[in-house]
Amino acid sequence: MLKTSRPRFMVHQRSHSTSSVSEKGASFSTPQANRKNKVNGSRRMSDSNNVAYSNGKKAFEGNIEKWEPNVYEKELLRRTWSDEFDNLYELGSAIYCYIFDHNPNCKQLFPFISKYQGDEWKESKEFRSQALKFVQTLAQVVKNIYHMERTESFLYTVGHKHVKFADRGFKHEYWDIFQDAMEFALEHRLSLMTDLDDNQKKDAVTVWRTLALYTTVHMRNGFIDGLKGVNRFPPLV
């Protein structure tokens, strides 16, 4: 992929202007996961009935498994995502570095790391491939934000496939650190953006935290069912 001079973590501009992102005529429905990244203190548990937004409204009561972002939320997701190679790799790398720093046991899931001295694995082709693989999953979710009915089975299947890593020590609790890592890395990227005002940044953080929760909930469901030999979305023959 060719590099461009567009600001990092932004997508191609369409016919609308930035002002369309700030329009909040519809209720802002994102469930705020009442959690904090481990790096900042205690873990958060999902609390969809305690929602705080930059506009001061509490507007969501529902099931995160069936989350449907509204127009404003979808626009924030679309505008704050980039499929450029460098952006994807940097985000994926930040996610995995966070995971390994906060739960070193996760390194055992990736045998290639032991082939390298110290932190040399960070520059390896295996790590680059793994970092890109995870963010490509996120990219697929963002791609389908206007077709959320497709994402549940996709994420469930991704989680289901992780059963093959159970013999390396993968546990369903590890989805928590993946969620924390996504939130931390995405929040950091959003803080660097210059074309959204402070309220829009806060709202974008809320939406991305919700997407991280939505993503890991469905992957966890797939993994747990896989351990039981159950598959809610068997492949079509």
Residue type at 137? T
What confidence score (pLDDT) does residue 237 get? Answer: 57
The domain 82-237 is placed in CATH, from the list 3.40.50.300, 1.20.1250.20, 1.25.40.10, 1.10.490.10, at 1.10.490.10
* pLDDT per residue rounded down to tens, the chain (237 residues): 333 333 333 333 333 333 344 444 333 444 444 444 333 333 333 333 333 334 433 334 557 888 899 999 999 999 999 989 999 999 999 999 999 999 999 999 999 999 999 899 999 999 999 999 999 999 999 999 988 888 999 999 999 999 999 999 999 889 999 999 999 999 999 998 888 899 999 999 999 999 999 999 999 999 999 999 999 998 865
Residue 236's pLDDT is what?
66
Residues 6+ apart with CB under 8 A from 106: 99, 100, 174, 177
Residues 6 or more apart in contact with residue 4 via CB below 8 angstroms? 84
**Structural contact between residues 12 and 20, judged by C-beta atoms closer than 8 angstroms:** no
- Which of 77, 80, 72 has the alpha carbon at shortest distance from 55? 72
Cα–Cα distance, 200 to 53 (Å, whole number) = 10
